[in-house]
Amino acid sequence: MDEKTQAEQLIVCGGCNAKIGPGNLAEILKKLPTSKHDKNLLVGYESTDDAAVYQIDRNTALIQTLDFFPSMVNDPYLFGKIAAANALSDVFAMGGDVLTALNIVCFPENMDVKILERILKGGAEKVSEAGGILAGGHSIHDRLPKYGLSVMGRVAPDKILKNNMVADGDVLILTKPLGVGIVTTSYGAGEASEAAFNQAVTSMTTLNKYAADIIRQYSVSSCTDVTGFGLAGHLSEMLHGEFKAQLTAENIPMIPEAYNYAEEFLITAGGQRNRNYLKGKIEFNLDDYALEEIVFDPQTSGGLLVSVPASVAPKLLQELNTLELQSAIIGHVTKKASTDDVEIVVN
Amino acid sequence: MEKINALGQACPIPIIRTKKALRNNDSVQIVVDSDISTQNLEKMAKQLGYSYNMQQLSKERFQVDIKKQGSTGENKETAQAAPVAVAEDSDEAMPHVEQAELAQVRLSQGYIVVVNTDIMGRGDDLGRTLLKGFINSMTEQDVLPEYMIFYNAGVKLLAKDSDSVEDLKVLADNGVKVLGCGACVNFYHLEDKLGVGDITNMFRIVELMRGSQRIVRP
């Protein structure tokens, strides 16, 4: 089998679309025995945050995270870049700097190792661009290729950007367009244009480092990265049952073709899992089925979702929009009555 | 009724197959292996105003029946058997497409557009303006061609500075495959000046033209 046909087998509806649904996961995590309490664990998994944060001395906390998945593109080099950008993103979403990264590799025994070489090259380039050191890794044989990173980062304990500190009156900013899940899946099925696919690739391979470097200079309330649970899923985590977000549909950035593809029902299982999970928690005040799909669409290496005081938002947005990928104010946060089940309203 | 076995296929493949089958059939039965796929099929049926019925056959086997409203699911059966059924995606299928779907831009494998000149009709000035209008109107069509083929002086429209390059980009972005004849591009020295489209050869042009249901020329 030549390299090309092998590479074409790389793809399996992958990326963050392959993530286990948030509902299933929450059920399992609840049943696990709780670890010993340690006051130095500043962020653990009871908080649904992007990464674990552990304080080692007065001025330093370590960020620990990992992410890997099967490919959603045919090109192994691009897959490496996307998977690495996605894994590194959790450190940036916590407000940290990348220190070291380890490769996580699953690769079929009988597949051409040149493909693996291309994957690792893409990954190594992104680690280096992120300012980190690729320090090792672990590889196993598996039926399908999968790749990702385990990443360690550093942050000052008082500079951690948590994902659940939103405040009443905050404005929500999103730093990348939505729809990469729909576009890459449609492309894999031969139903998407090159132009849309290239737009998705540009978005997925862009490190969140650049947006995070700007965001860190402002007093933001909360920050997370939008990945497998889609905009709606990650926003819901951010609101953690106590706040309500009002989104303005027309301001939500997206790859335009993703909307067209959603209209053509080029929809994913991941999107539907997210929709099921948020049933009753989200309300659409407009009849726009394709937009709903965009809001639930699982993102791979998606943008940062930031909650900031309204007074800060215009200047932050202006500075973010000096970057190649355009950010947008997508809505605002209000307090939610405990009797109200609806967390997200799309107008 | 069309039957589709989509076991082992992940979304959006079962949806795409169902949607295509519904162009020529009033009723489609699909077997999928995941509950999530049935939910996606249900969303599509609801959006298109079709009836939806699901039956779980076993743990990983779900049968979904989608029917156009007011249809018995039988009336297209005879047409299917006829040899003309190869006109799968042509406009012949359009009368059976529901309103909800008509509103969407659709690609049709049923027609291609061939442009063999840079003027439409006779007379240089009027001809150029008309051709520009022709390409622009192409972008507004409900059903887009699958291919647009440019040969002879037609390839000039693919140049970066052509009046139609933006419209052609819109068409290409919407999935129309824009192709230019390589020999013609060389003849007009446009090799480095192309703003849209891919290069093709006469073999492929003949193949596409003979395989097409209908050819539209300006």
Question: Nearest C-alpha of chain A: how many angstroms from B80?
Answer: 24
Find the CB nearest A267 among B40, B172, B173.
B40
Let me know whether A98 and A207 are in one domain.
no
Position A165 in a domain? no
Let me know whether A102 and A128 are in one domain.
yes
Cis peptide before B95 (omega within 30 of 0): no
Look at residue B70 in the predicted model and tell me its pLDDT. Answer: 64
- Is A195's CB within 8 Å of B172's CB? yes
- A39-44 average pLDDT score: 90
Let me know whether B117 and B195 are in one domain.
yes
How far are the Cα atoms of A251, A331, A333, B106 from residue A190, in angstroms, in the given order?
29, 34, 39, 15
Position B92 in a domain? no
Higher pLDDT, A78 or B142: A78
Rounded to whole angstroms, the Cα distance separating A167 from B17 reads: 46
Let me know whether A333 and A184 are in one domain.
yes
What's the number of domains chain B is made of? 2
Higher pLDDT, A208 or B216: A208
By the 8 A CB rule, do A285 and A342 touch?
no
Let me know whether A123 and A189 are in one domain.
no
Higher pLDDT, B10 or A296: A296
Q: Give B206's pLDDT tier (boundaries 50, 70, 90).
A: confident
- 3-state SS assignment for residue A140: strand
Position B91 in a domain? no
- Please give the sequence-ordered ranges of beta strands (E in DSSP) within A71-183, or none if there are none: 97-107, 133-141, 146-155, 171-174
What's the number of domains chain A is made of? 2
Position A166 in a domain? no
Let me know whether A190 and A337 are in one domain.
yes
Look at residue B145 in the predicted model and tell me its pLDDT. Answer: 87
Rounded to whole angstroms, the Cα distance separating A69 from B80 reads: 43
Does residue A249 register a pLDDT over 90?
Answer: yes
Q: Are strands A243-247 and A344-346 parallel, antiparallel or unpaired?
A: parallel
- Is B11's CB within 8 Å of A195's CB? no
Q: Which of B82, B98, B123 is the last residue of a domain?
A: B82
Rounded to whole angstroms, the Cα distance separating A42 from A52 reads: 8
Q: Does B4 touch chain A (CB under 8 A)?
A: no
Q: Give B107's pLDDT tier (boundaries 50, 70, 90).
A: very low
DSSP secondary structure of B15-60: HHHHHHHHHH-SEEEEEES-HHHHHHHHHHHHHHTEEEEEEEEETT
Domain range for A179 is: 171-346
- B45-70 average pLDDT score: 90
Chain B residues lying within 8 Å of A269, measured CB to CB: 10-11, 34, 36-37, 40
Higher pLDDT, B109 or B7: B7
Query: For residue B20, what is the domain's CATH number?
Result: 3.30.110.40
Let me know whether A333 and A188 are in one domain.
yes
Across chain B, mean pLDDT equals: 80
DSSP secondary structure of B51-71: EEEEEEEETTEEEEEEEETT-
For the annotated catalytic residues of A, the residue numbers are 16
Query: For residue A146, what is the domain's CATH number?
Result: 3.30.1330.10
Position A176 in a domain? yes
Q: Which of B82, B117, B136 is the last residue of a domain?
A: B82
Let me know whether A16 and A134 are in one domain.
yes
Q: Are strands B143-150 and B27-32 parallel, antiparallel or unpaired?
A: unpaired
Q: Which of A158, A186, A217 is the last residue of a domain?
A: A158
Place of tokens 């303005």: A248
Does residue A3 register a pLDDT over 60?
Answer: no
Let me know whether B170 and B73 are in one domain.
no
Rounded to whole angstroms, the Cα distance separating A302 from B96 reads: 40
- B122-137 average pLDDT score: 88
Size of interface A-B (CB pairs under 8 A): 61
Let me know whether B115 and B184 are in one domain.
yes
Query: For residue A258, what is the domain's CATH number?
Result: 3.90.650.10
Give the residue from A187, A173, A189, A208 showing the smallest Cα distance to A82: A208
- Is B16's CB within 8 Å of A195's CB? no
Q: Does B98 touch chain A (CB under 8 A)?
A: no
Position A66 in a domain? yes
Let me know whether A207 and A75 are in one domain.
no
* Token reading at A102: 């380890």
Tens-digit pLDDT profile for residues A92-114: 999 999 999 999 999 999 889 99
Position B89 in a domain? no
Position B163 in a domain? yes
DSSP secondary structure of B164-209: THHHHHHHHHTT-EEEEEHHHHHHTT-TTTB-S-EEE-HHHHHHHH
- The residue of A257, A272, A277, A287 whose CB has the most chain B CBs within 10 angstroms, and thus the best one to mutate to test that interface, is A272
Look at residue A24 in the predicted model and tell me its pLDDT. Answer: 74
Question: Nearest C-alpha of chain A: how many angstroms from B193?
Answer: 19
Backbone angles phi, psi at B135, to 5 degrees: -65, -40
Q: Does B19 touch chain A (CB under 8 A)?
A: yes
- Is A267's CB within 8 Å of B15's CB? yes
Does residue A9 register a pLDDT over 90?
Answer: no
Q: Output DSSP code: residue A297.
A: P
* Token reading at A213: 């470097």
Its ipTM equals 0.75
Higher pLDDT, A49 or B24: B24
Q: Which of A135, A158, A181 is the last residue of a domain?
A: A158
Tens-digit pLDDT profile for residues B83-96: 333 333 433 333 33
Let me know whether A14 and A145 are in one domain.
yes
Give the residue from A68, A83, A72 showing the smallest Cα distance to A122: A83
Contacts of A3 (CB under 8 A, 6+ apart): A112, A114, A115
Q: Which residues of A238-262 are buried (b: 16+ CB within 10 A; e: fewer)?
A: bbeeebbbebebeebbbbebbbbbb
Let me know whether A182 and A330 are in one domain.
yes
Position A219 in a domain? yes
Q: Which residues of B172-198 are buried (b: 16+ CB within 10 A; e: fewer)?
A: bbbbbbbbbbbebbeebebeeebbbbe
- The residue of B32, B38, B43 whose CB has the most chain A CBs within 10 angstroms, and thus the best one to mutate to test that interface, is B43
- A46-59 average pLDDT score: 85
Does residue B98 register a pLDDT over 50?
Answer: no
By the 8 A CB rule, do A112 and A29 touch?
no
Let me know whether B50 and B114 are in one domain.
no
Q: Give A16's pLDDT tier (boundaries 50, 70, 90).
A: low
Q: Which of A97, A125, A158 is the last residue of a domain?
A: A158
| B window 107-166, beta carbon within 8 A of A | none
Give the residue from A78, A305, A293, A104 showing the smallest Cα distance to A205: A78
Domain range for B12 is: 2-82
Tens-digit pLDDT profile for residues B63-75: 999 998 765 544 4
Let me know whether A180 and A90 are in one domain.
no
- A237-250 average pLDDT score: 94
Chain A residues lying within 8 Å of B36, measured CB to CB: 269, 272-273, 276
Let me know whether B46 and B78 are in one domain.
yes
Query: For residue B136, what is the domain's CATH number?
Result: 3.40.1260.10
